[in-house]
Amino acid sequence: MAANVAGAIDGRDPEYLHQLRVGIRRLRAVLRVFGKITRKGKRLERRLREVVAPLGEARDWDVFVARFAKGKARRRAAHLRSRAALTSPEFRAFFVEAQHWARANAGTGEPPLAAYAAAALDRLHRKIRKRARNIDWRDEEGRHDVRIAVRRLRYACDFFSPCFEGARRYIRVLADLQDVLGELNDIAVARRIGGARLEAALDRRERALVSELVPAWRGFEKRRRFWVDTGKPAAPAR
């Protein structure tokens, strides 16, 4: 994550900001999971969310400009706000505090990590099922809620996968579902910031993606949970 900060501040290549935000979301997912057993993890996650909030707007405009070649002035303004967030004392202070917290908690986890991971993943999986219950996939707000829950489970699975065998196929199915939901969210953002001129094109793409979303969801539902049904602790490293 830290490796992408300089490129995101520079702002000329949007991929740095994209990868930085992916790293931030992964870190927030881990902090949120461990926030169940340590209040410091929860507090760090909340601080990080507040400090990097301007990055989301900048990324939204990157996606919009890349797709429609419009809105360049507003993208520049959003990137100035993003740069201010990344160079702020609050952002630097977060990194220092997070590193201290990680060092202080290294190797001290109870319960054993695999058992804790299984409980955490099961909780995140149930949250997805709850948010998707009786959902109409054409509903933008409902899809958004499911997307957030899917993303959190995906990043938690990535983090905990070394604790189990058989995680790769499950994560691949989850990633496919996340990709479709992510592009649908890009359309929702473009509709919000792009105005009525793009409505027809966005509607066509949305309908096509919703038709892809149904089988992607079914694939997720059918895939066995590696941490419960087929999962077993990974062999110790030699």
pLDDT digits (tens, 9 = 90+) for 119-174: 999 999 999 999 999 999 999 999 999 999 999 999 999 999 988 888 999 999 99
pLDDT of residue 230: 46
List the domain boundaries for the chain.
Answer: 1-109, 111-238
pLDDT > 90 fraction of the chain, expressed in percent and rounded: 42
With a cut of 70, say whether residue 232 has pLDDT above it.
no
Could you give the CA distance from residue 59 to residue 78 in angstroms, rounded to a whole number?
Answer: 8
∠ at Cα 84 (46, 58), nearest 5°? 80
Could you give the CA distance from residue 19 to residue 3 in angstroms, rounded to a whole number?
Answer: 10
The H or E element that residue 211 is part of is: helix 199-222
- pLDDT category at 238 given cuts 50, 70, 90 is very low
pLDDT of residue 32: 86
∠ at Cα 154 (34, 203), nearest 5°? 130
- pLDDT category at 103 given cuts 50, 70, 90 is confident
Residue type, 198: L
Residue whose pair of structure tokens reads 């000329």 in the numeric block? 12
Could you give the CA distance from residue 7 to residue 4 in angstroms, rounded to a whole number?
Answer: 5
pLDDT > 70 fraction of the chain, expressed in percent and rounded: 91
- pLDDT category at 236 given cuts 50, 70, 90 is very low
194-204 mean pLDDT: 81
41-67 mean pLDDT: 87
**Given this structure, which CATH class describes domain 111-238?**
mainly alpha
With a cut of 50, say whether residue 237 has pLDDT above it.
no
Closest CA to 95 of 8, 2, 157, 199: 2
Residues in the chain: 238
72-93 mean pLDDT: 89
